[in-house]
Amino acid sequence: MSTTLGFIYPDHAAEDDYPYAAELLGLRLEVTHIYGTDLHAVPELLDLGSPERLAVGARQLAAAAPQAVVWACTSGSFVYRPDGAAQQVQRLAEAAGVPASSTSFAFTRACEALGVRTVAVAASYPDDVASLFTEFLGAAGVEVVATSSAGIDTAAEVGRLTGEQVLALAEANDHPDAEALLIPDTAMHTLRELPRLEERLGKRVLTANQVTIWEALRLVGRQAHAPALGSLFGGGPRAA
């Protein structure tokens, strides 16, 4: 049986990362959209990731019969804090009838899988939202040695960043004590930039859509080799 993985993606920004990855991986990555605000603000993010909205996404994916479903939104999951985010994915799994997860847990599990203990975070969010991601990572045993906040208010603005702007954001916000750099917004186009990001920094780079797809594969017990998607998929940075 072929593998179909489902993703609930908020609004529209960088969802074209998914067909790009699907072609590289030879898998069916089914993306559906739910709509709310694209504002990076805590009350709005809590509403965006509500069980009711995610249940709508699960129903929309049902016809594709995915073997796993991931809530492809970092800020709309970590804003619930660790316990709340766990309840969020549990309720999503119940609604979808298959294993489920979210991008926030994808980051922590990717760090664990790679043996990464110290990270820098290059966040597009405002400070208060970025600090909640740092807290989420810390609760999972990932030490954040540096966090930057680009202070971009909406996902639509993030989605318009060019590849060169993404590279500049990463270079400006890396830290020498970090074993990896994390770029947490699924609204940011990053998949095509991963080889250049890792080569430029000389270390592992984990980005939101990358880890989201990896997490969906993990849920169904599959591994995939696609060096163009970075270290997490069997590529590797060359020393700087």
In the chain, what are the domains? 4-104+212-219 (3.40.50.12500), 113-207 (3.40.50.12500)
Return the amino acid letter for 153.
Answer: D
Distance CA 165, CA 176 (A): 21
Distance CA 38, CA 234 (A): 33
Q: What is the pLDDT of residues 68-110, one digit of tens each?
A: 999 999 999 999 999 999 999 999 999 999 999 999 999 999 9
Count how many Cα atoms sit within 13 Å of the Cα of residue 162 in the half-sphere of its side chain.
3
Q: What is the pLDDT of residues 121-176, one digit of tens each?
A: 998 888 899 999 999 999 999 999 999 877 776 767 887 888 888 888 899 999 99
Residue with more model confidence, 38 or 60: 60
Return the amino acid letter for 163.
Answer: G
3-state secondary structure of 235: coil
**Residues whose CB is less than 8 angstroms from the CB of residue 210 and which lie 6 or more positions away in sequence, other chains included:** 21, 190, 191, 194, 229, 230, 232, 233
Q: Which helix (H) or strand (E) holds 69?
A: strand 68-71
